[in-house]
Chains A and B, each alone.
Chain A
């Protein structure tokens, strides 16, 4: 759980050239090098991303009526994604040096607070 050094690059160069091997290598590195807390968060981010993409696709398909609902849903997705990314950055033990005064708990509290405000506005707008 506590950090192993370096995600991503690690020791040595991956298989040269082939995209597939790069991807596979990335997945392996990701699986081993990332703490599970971050993986949980990444899953959440993926969920939010998919939700937003589906909303956008639906809007492209059937039209923008009612536009405010589409906007509020889409902005909810986008906003949540951004806040999740912020939380991930702040929690990541590798970035501890950047966030001296902010503990992970503090980051989580901020995340909850910001989400509350975001969803208050979103619910107001959804109509």
Chain B
């Protein structure tokens, strides 16, 4: 196949671009109630050490949950804090910020230790922990110096984690310092994200790093007052990646996801909105209201928002049935009674937008809503139509769900016909469902044949059974068949299986199978007799024997001729070489005969080599002698 021409490629690329621009990415993952419970359970483990305590306490606070026993937690921190370790001090300081009424006294030495850690010589992690601890304990900090140390150190450590920690550190520093350098790192980090299929965006270091990045970005942006340099689609992709992880292997991973969830549900700039239907997106007369859950990433309902239906179009006809209608808030969900506009059954494309807060992102969504209805069968006429058109067709009307009385016959003189109409019970409109089948079931043999009933131009379904046309489907098995009508569709709430009537079908006798053939595939098949290769035709033995005798006659002729010519054998000298030569030659001829009857090529060659060698030497001698004799 030739490669598509450049013009076609351009068209495809343009179409893709249009599609990409037209539809913003919708969030594919979020923290449902169950996910939140799992996250909470992961964080609510008993504290193993101070770092674990920090992860649990601060993680839970990000989810908006308080620790179960705050006093015990406070005591744990106080007893486990190590005043000589900057990390330990950081965990303690951050944890007590969350717990109410928890104080840790900080000695001067500790303070000196922390201040000393804020220098170019410490790693970024050390600087981060020191600044965080100082801020957590409420100790004064020289922001400008800290910033310069941080910037200097960051230029040496290029890793993603170090940069994220730098972002967090900057969020503790005073706004007097010029934090724009650090803020620019956000953009650089965004460039380092990996795009997976256009749906996910994450660092190659993993989900934990990605989640920490999101939390740090919003923390810093809120602190500085600048919108983070992340595009809306990128935020959605980050969300998808972070919340795709439902099981957490380590406490720090759970902590990072909790921080990300917390920051995405309450920051000053971007609030992703999740719009999902409550239950299946389907309405019907029994269930006319479409319910939507409009929440943030932590499945907390955004009851302040205003939810509006931009338009609702029929998926098949693309006609707009409703537009610019508001959803009403009912408890935690937003609802709309769609059946008020009396839509025909089928699928509809809904475009819904959520407003109310400038920070909302991914607040437009496209939804496919199914409108179901119930089907009714009317004007069901069963008739036998005479093939010769001489007798008027006999028509019987049947009403669903009754069965027709008496049976109908279809044979070589008359066809059986069925016609009916399908309507929407609620609106009275004609329906064309996906499945309208007529099933004929042979009561004796268990055979069944299914036909499709087709609607004509007036949407009246017709089915006609002509025995001569259809005998192959039935295997010409005559008998009484039960006729069923099957109607089904995705948008029907009441699929129908209706035993309409009994039909006696008679096929012409000569076509009837001798026995009822059950199509059993697993019986032994008839044995195949192997046909051996026929031997070639040979002439009769008499002929070939005659020919053999005939062939020997030229030999006779030769001998006679030789005698006549006077072949000279008088010069036969009885020298040893002559005798050996002739004997050797005779032996070679004998060998040829033996080869024909018994030996194979290799054995023959072996013997031939020996005999031939002998004969050659003898013959050479003999001929040489002859030559000498000749020349003399």
Contact = CB atoms under 8 A, between A and B. Distances in A.
Interface of A: 36, 39-40, 43-44, 46-47, 50-51, 54-55, 58, 62-63, 65-66, 103-106, 108-109, 112-113, 116, 119-120, 123-124, 126
19 contacts: A36-B567, A40-B562, A43-B561, A47-B554, A51-B555, A63-B537, A66-B536, A104-B627, A104-B630, A105-B624, A105-B626, A109-B619, A112-B619, A113-B616, A116-B588, A116-B612, A120-B592, A120-B608, A124-B595
Contacts of A63: 537, 539
Given A36-B568, A47-B555, A109-B620, A124 B539 contact: no
A39 B565 contact: yes
B557 A65 contact: no
Given A39-B565, A46-B561, A65 B624 contact: no
A102 to B, nearest CB: 12
A122 B16 CA distance: 77
A120 B567 contact: no
B451 interface: no
Nearest 10 Cβ contacts at the A-B interface: A105-B623, A47-B558, A43-B561, A62-B539, A50-B554, A65-B536, A39-B565, A47-B554, A105-B627, A40-B567
A123 B624 contact: no
Contact of B562 (A43, A112, A119): A43
Given A40-B567, A58-B547, A126 B596 contact: yes
Contacts of A112: 585, 619
B interface secondary structure, majority? helix
B604 interface: yes
Contacts of A106: 623
Interface residues of B, number: 36
B551 A124 contact: no
A120 B604 contact: yes
Given A103-B627, A105-B624, A108-B623, A36 B554 contact: no
A58 B623 CA distance: 39
Nearest to B626: A105
A1 B532 CA distance: 64
Nearest to A52: B554
Contacts, number: 71
B523 interface: no
B538 interface: yes
Given A43-B565, A51-B551, A65-B537, A119 B558 contact: no
Contacts of A58: 547
A interface secondary structure, majority? helix
Interface of B: 536-539, 543-544, 547, 550-551, 554-555, 557-558, 561-562, 565-568, 585, 588, 592, 595-596, 601, 604, 608, 612, 616, 619-620, 623-624, 626-627, 630
A36 B551 CA distance: 26
Contacts of B626: 105
Contacts of B566: 36
Nearest to B561: A43
Contacts of B604: 120
B557 A50 contact: yes
A124 B601 contact: yes
Given A63-B537, A105-B623, 7 more contacts: A36-B567, A106-B623, A109-B620, A109-B623, A113-B616, A123-B596, A124-B601
B536 to A, nearest CB: 4
A40 B566 CA distance: 8
A104 B620 CA distance: 12
Contacts of A47: 554-555, 557-558, 561
Contacts of B536: 65-66
A71 B592 CA distance: 17
Contacts of A123: 592, 595-596
Contacts of A104: 627, 630
A50 B551 CA distance: 9
Central interface residue in A39, A47, A109, A113, by most chain B CB within 10 Å: A47
B538 to A, nearest CB: 6
B499 to A, nearest CB: 72
Contacts of B585: 112
A52 B544 CA distance: 16
A59 to B, nearest CB: 10
A119 B595 CA distance: 11
A46 B560 CA distance: 12
Contacts of B538: 65
Contacts of B624: 105
Nearest to B595: A123
Nearest to B567: A40
Nearest to B550: A54
Contacts of A116: 588, 608, 612
A48 B6 CA distance: 77
A126 B557 CA distance: 25
Contacts of B568: 36
Contacts of A108: 623
A40 B604 CA distance: 31
